[in-house]
Amino acid sequence: MKILLYNPDNGVTRNFMPHLWMFLLQALTPPGHEVLLVDGNASPMDEAGIAQFVRDNKIGLVGIGAMTRMIAKAYRMADAVRATGVPVVMGGPHVTEMADEALGRDGGPRHADAVALGEADATWPRIVEDAVRGELKDIYSPVDAFGQESKPSLKEYPVIPWDSIDLKQFNLVPKAATALLQKIGTGWGSFRIIPVESGRGCPYGCEFCTVTGFFGDSIRFRTNESVVNELLLLKARARSEKGQMAVFFIDDNFAINIKRTKSLLRDIIAAGAQCHWVAQISANLLRDEELVDLIAASGGKWIFIGMESIDPANLKDVNKGFNKPGEYAAVLERLAQRNVYAITSFIFGMDNDTVGVAERTLGQVRTWPPGLPIFGLLTPLPATPLYKRLEKAGRLTRPKHWQEFIPFAMAHTPLKMTIEEAHAEVNKGWAEAYSPEALTAAVESLNDQPLGYRVNIFLARICFRGIYFPMMGKMAWVKVIAQNRRTIFKLVREGFKAGAWRGAPARVPIAAVPPVEVAEASPQVAEG
């Protein structure tokens, strides 16, 4: 049977990186089937397009996965596929919480023939076999022989054949430049950011987050060997293509068990599997100097930190009191000293937020080493404790906000400002943090560093907006480039100077780190 796995864009914003679930399910598909992958973020498709694709390729089963913000598009695409007579199975965080909606049991139309609840590593092969027999069930739950919910241990992780998968759609180098860059041998014929997981689960239960409910609070890790082998495979692929790749460790808190993370990073270094990588780690775990040394030595470049707010009252409200705003600056300095920078994520519209929250936050951000600030609005995702609290209090203004996705629009009323004021705060956050002046300041703050670091921060900032902001058309890009022309010219001019690209050591020497014994997982704290 031919199977299509499809991940929709939401029609408004785009991700820069392929979704891991598609590659994972492809690797877990029983032999004898052909699995095609289409990610709408990389290969935009509409309803007519997917129906045509399904017919042209004689697809027998379509699997669709989606976050809440993509679900409206996912349902429309599922409807188009089902209209061709091909069954659709849906999975992922949204339909796990809202299976009745997908199956049309809530009074609305049916969009999926079957729904896979939770982690589908074990259920996917069953789904494929049932589809072959034409006996799809409505719901597939990950349960053991006794009917108890069971979670994959990750000790037996499938090998994702990164060396042979067709990754054309995920090349971030613009098509027009690819051929030229390959020809002149720059080593930049392709650039991909690849998602890799080293573990799953987070015990922290922040009020707005779906992770604890979805993956549970039992933390599970892959073996170091399996992660290292995956990195080696990815490196070999990039080398063979004369291209570049970076890894996004998508674990919710990559350092949730510090001892184990250190051991993994040491093994990466020992195997020569270092590559540029990004990961999510909570600020409190980055107090550990040795961990930060190992992050830098193994290729860590960007750490995503869910700071959420600089107001401890807000953090307490959303059950994230383990974040200590007083230590944010020190944590970021510790990273920057090793030339590792942070993606700092903030949420506005929290219950203690008042008008001016953006300026107060930006005031702090300006005193920190340069990074990539992100601003979002508190969003009640289905089945989260936040959703339940707001629903109970009658504060939801758009209880089914996902049915009509609007980027940067609240679905409930904050307590100390209006919805419009909260929207204005988020707009201000983005506009000021990514203004030409802010970009220039970020680049200039690294004037004592080699050019590569400055180019890195500049490009990262320019590109980052694209994930969260409505898709920027060609004209919008031209405008952004024109606005930043001075900084661009300066970087280009410097690029021609001798030695400009030469690497420099980190600002502090990285300690020689002795090997550590790996104990069994001892969960500490998590990030999201």
279 contributes a contact to ligand SF4 by CB under 6 A: no
Are the C-beta atoms of 39 and 170 separated by less than 8 Å? yes
For residue 385, the minimal CB distance to ligand SF4 (Å) is 10
Taking the C-alpha atoms of residue 115 and residue 129, their distance in angstroms, rounded to an integer, is 15
Of the ranges 119-127, 157-165, 184-192, 500-508, which one interacts with ligand B12 (CB under 6 A)? 119-127
Query: Is residue 378 at the binding interface for ligand SF4, with CB under 6 A as the rule?
Result: no
Q: Which position among 202, 258, 265, 335 is part of the footprint of ligand SF4 (CB under 6 A)?
A: 202
Is the CB of residue 174 less than 8 Å from the CB of residue 93?
no
| CB of 204 vs ligand SF4, minimal distance in Å | 4
Structure tokens at 377: 């609005």
- 94 lies in the binding site for ligand B12 (CB under 6 A): yes
> Of 91, 300, 371, 429, which lies in the binding site for ligand B12, with binding defined by CB under 6 A?
91
Distance between CA 393 and CA 146 in Å, rounded? 38
**Distant-in-sequence, close-in-space partners of 313: CB < 8 Å, separation ≥ 6:** 352
Residue 80 interface partner, choices ligand SF4, ligand B12, none, CB cut-off 5-8 Å depending on type: none
Using CB under 6 A as the binding rule, whether residue 308 contacts ligand B12 is answered as no
Distance CA 461, CA 503 (A): 21
250 binding partner (options ligand B12, ligand SF4, none; Cβ < 5 to 8 Å by kind): ligand B12
C-alpha 81/C-alpha 53 separation (Å) is: 9
Residue 371 near residue 343, CB atoms below 8 Å: yes
Verify binding: residue 528, ligand SF4, rule CB under 6 A: yes
Report residue 508 as tokens.
């502090």
Task: Return the structure tokens found at 366.
Answer: 């300006």
Q: How do 220-221 and 199-200 pair as beta strands? A: antiparallel
* Binding status of residue 527 toward ligand SF4 by CB under 6 A: yes
Stretch of 17-25, 284-292, 358-366, 452-460 lying at the interface with ligand B12 (CB under 6 A): 17-25
A 10 A CB-CB count for 242 gives 15
> Distance between CA 408 and CA 413 in Å, rounded?
14
Cα–Cα distance, 88 to 53 (Å, whole number): 14
Judged by CB under 6 A, which stretch of 45-53, 200-208, 397-405, 406-414 contacts ligand SF4?
A: 200-208
Exactly one of 64, 95, 120, 209 binds ligand SF4 (CB under 6 A); that residue is 209
CB of 252 to ligand SF4, least distance (A): 4
Which residues would be at the binding site for ligand B12 (CB under 6 A)?
Answer: 10, 13-15, 17, 19-21, 24, 63-65, 67-69, 89-94, 116, 119-121, 124, 195, 197, 209-211, 250, 252, 376, 381, 467-468, 528
Binding site for ligand SF4 (CB under 6 A): 202, 204-206, 209, 211-212, 252, 306, 320, 526-528
